[in-house]
Amino acid sequence: MKNCAVILAGGQGKRMKSNKPKALCEVLFKPMIDWTIDAAGDAEVDDICVVTGHLHEMLEEHLAGKTKTAFQAERLGTGHAVMQAVDFIEEFKGGNTLILNGDCPLMDGDTIQNALSYHERHGNAVTVISANVENPFGYGRIIRDAGGFLKEIVEEKDATPKQRAINEVNSGAYWFKTDVLLDTLSKITNKNKQHEYYLTDCIEIAIQNGLQTSAFTAQNPDVVLGANDRIQLLDLNDKLRYKFLQEQMLAGVDIPCSEGIIIGPDVEIGTDTRILPGTVLLGDTKIGKNCIIGPNSYLTDTVVGNDVVLDNVVAEQSKVGSGCDLGPFVHLRPCSQIGKEVHIGNFVEIKNSTIDNGTKVSHLTYVGDSDLGKNINMGCGCVTVNFDGQKKHRTVIGDGTFIGCNTNLISPVKLGKFAYTAAGSTIYEDVPDYTLAIARNRQENKVGWVKKKNKIRNME
Ligand code: UD1
Ligand code: CA
C-alpha cells in the first residue's frame, strides 16, 4: 500500500506584493513550499504532486526534479485544485492521500505522521488535522456533534455567528483514503457563498455516506498558521526561528541573547558553544564544541572544529580547524580550508586557499588562490597578487616562512620553507628555502636637505 501527498500551491498571494507565486515566498530563507515538501517527506509519503496556478512556470522550474506538478488554470477552490491532480492520485488507489496547503510552513512531519497513525488506528476514511487557536478568524471551523464526532467544516464566510465562536479550526491538512477522496471529489459542487469547489465538502459527503471520519487535534496550534502578507510572514519567521533556537539550546548550545540570531534547521552545533547576537548560520554548517561564534557572524555551508572563536566573520563553503581564532572582520570566501590553531585577524580576506596549522595572518591581508604551510607569519597588509588580468594563479608558501609587512606576492610564485621577505617587497621570483628576499629600492638619506632648501613645515 502506497501513500501520496498533494500540496495546494496555486494561489497568488496578492497581499505579499511579490513578483513570485506565494508558495515561493520565504520563511527562514527557504520557500514556504519547500517547508511543506520536507514535512511530507518526513512523513514518508511515496510521491508528491504540487498543484500550481499563478505564475506556475516559476514554481514548476523550482520544483523540477523534486516533485510532480499539476497545473490549475483557474483558481476555483481547494476541491478544484485537488481535482487537477486526479491522474496522479489514481496511481495510489488502495492507499492514503495526504493533502497539504503550500502556504502553511509550520505544519511538521511529526504532526502529519501522528495524524496518519491515528487515521489508520481508527480505520478512518478521512482524518482532518485541526487545532485550537486563540483567533479562529478566517479559518474553516470544525463542527462536532453532541457526541464530539466530526459533523462538518464550515468556512468563515458561510458560518453562523455561533459557529464563528468555535476555536477549533481546520488546518487544511488531511489524510484521505485515496479511494474515498477520488469518489467524493467527483461529487462536490460550487454551491456556496464563494462559488468555489471546497475540498471540505468531500468530508461532508463522506460523513453523509456513513464513513468513519474524525478530526485529529494537533498539539501545537501553530501548525495551522499561514501567511497572506509580509507581516504574517515575519510572524512565521519568528516562530520557526525560535523553534530552532530552542532545539539548539536543549542540545547544549549557549545563546545568552537571541537578538538577530538565525540558525537553519540543518545546522549542527556542539555543546557549550556560545552563539552571540547578529549571527546567521545556514545550510550544512557544522560547528564543534566550546566555540564562540559571533557577534555578527554569517556562516553558510561551513564546517568549524572545536574551541574556535569567530568574531564578525563571514564564511562560505569553508572549513576552519580546531583552536582557530578569526576576526574581528574576516571574510572566508568559498573553498578556504583553515588548519588548526590558525589566527586570522582584522580585515583579512581569504579565498580558495589552504592555510596549515599554526599560521598567523593578522591584519589587512588578502590571501587568494594560495597554499600556506605551517607556522607562517604573514605581516600586515600583504597581498597575494593572484590575477594577471586574464588568469588566476597560485601562490605557495613553505612552513615557517616570514612574510614582511606590505609584501606583494606576484603569482605564480613559490616561497620555500623558513624563508623571509623584507617589508615592502614585491616578490615575483621564487624564493628558495632559508633565504631572505629583498625586492625594494635601497633607501638614500639626504642629510640637512630640509634646512638647506628651507622646507621646515609650519606646524601652526
Ligand atoms: C482553506 C480551508 C479552510 C482552512 C484553511 C486553512 C477550504 C474550503 N477551506 O481555506 O477550512 O481553515 O484552508 O489554511 O478548503 N489553492 C489552490 N487553488 C485554489 C484555491 C486554493 O491551489 O483554487 C491553494 C492555495 O494556494 C493555498 C491552499 O490551496 O495554498 C489553501 O487555499 P486558501 O484559499 O488559502 O484556503 P482558505 O480559504 O484559507
Ligand atoms: Ca488561507
CATH number, position 60: 3.90.550.10
Task: Check pocket membership of 102 for ligand 1, CB cut-off 6 A.
Answer: yes
Task: Check pocket membership of 77 for ligand 1, CB cut-off 6 A.
Answer: yes
Mean pLDDT to the nearest integer, 307-322: 98
- Reported confidence tier of residue 459, pLDDT bands at 50, 70, 90: confident
CA of 155 to the centre of ligand 1 (A): 10
CA of 193 to the centre of ligand 1 (A): 15
One domain for residues 172 and 44: yes
Residue 229 lies in a domain: no
Mean pLDDT to the nearest integer, 322-329: 98
One domain for residues 270 and 359: yes
One domain for residues 193 and 146: yes
Task: Check pocket membership of 294 for ligand 1, CB cut-off 6 A.
Answer: no
Residue 168 lies in a domain: yes
What pLDDT score was predicted for residue 115? 98
Residue 458 lies in a domain: no
Residue minimizing CA distance to atom 29 of ligand 1: 8
pLDDT, tens digit, for every residue of 220-247? 999 999 999 999 999 999 999 999 999 9
Task: Check pocket membership of 327 for ligand 1, CB cut-off 6 A.
Answer: no
One domain for residues 265 and 218: no
Task: Check pocket membership of 62 for ligand 1, CB cut-off 6 A.
Answer: no
Ligand (nearest to CA of 137): 1
Mean pLDDT to the nearest integer, 385-389: 95
Average pLDDT, the chain: 97
Ligand (nearest to CA of 192): 1
Amino acid at the residue 350:
I
Pair 270, 307: CB distance under 8 Å: no
One domain for residues 168 and 287: no
Mean pLDDT to the nearest integer, 176-190: 98
What pLDDT score was predicted for residue 167? 98
Task: Check pocket membership of 8 for ligand 1, CB cut-off 6 A.
Answer: yes
Mean pLDDT to the nearest integer, 71-80: 97
pLDDT at 180 over 80: yes
Residue 231 lies in a domain: no
Domain that holds residue 152: 4-224
One domain for residues 431 and 293: yes
Domain CATH for 275? 2.160.10.10
Residue 389 lies in a domain: yes
Hey, how many other C-beta atoms are within 10 angstroms of the C-beta on 250? Answer: 8
Task: Provide the grid cell at 77.
Answer: 477552490
Residue 459 lies in a domain: no
One domain for residues 314 and 393: yes
Residue 82 lies in a domain: yes
One domain for residues 168 and 267: no
One domain for residues 217 and 256: no
Long-range (24+ apart) CB contacts under 8 A made by 40-45 are 40/5, 40/7, 40/98, 40/100, 40/109, 40/112, 41/109, 42/108, 42/109, 42/110, 42/112, 42/113, 43/5, 43/98, 43/109, 43/112, 43/113, 43/116, 44/3, 44/113, 45/3, 45/4, 45/5, 45/98
What pLDDT score was predicted for residue 193? 86
Ligand 1 atom showing the smallest separation from residue 11 Cα: 26
One domain for residues 202 and 287: no
What pLDDT score was predicted for residue 312? 98
Query: In whole angstroms, what is the distance from residue 456 CA to residue 453 CA?
Result: 9
Ligand (nearest to CA of 8): 1
Pair 202, 184: CB distance under 8 Å: yes
What pLDDT score was predicted for residue 1? 79
Residue minimizing CA distance to atom 11 of ligand 1: 140
pLDDT at 338 over 90: yes
CA of 421 to the centre of ligand 2 (A): 67
Query: In whole angstroms, what is the distance from residue 343 CA to residue 366 CA?
Result: 14
What pLDDT score was predicted for residue 12? 84
What pLDDT score was predicted for residue 64? 97
pLDDT at 460 over 90: no
One domain for residues 344 and 199: no
Q: Is 363 a catalytic residue?
A: yes
Query: In whole angstroms, what is the distance from residue 151 CA to residue 170 CA?
Result: 13
Count of domains forming the chain: 2
One domain for residues 205 and 286: no
Residue 81 lies in a domain: yes
pLDDT at 36 over 80: yes
Mean pLDDT to the nearest integer, 251-258: 98
Residue among 122, 331, 363, 393 flagged as catalytic: 363
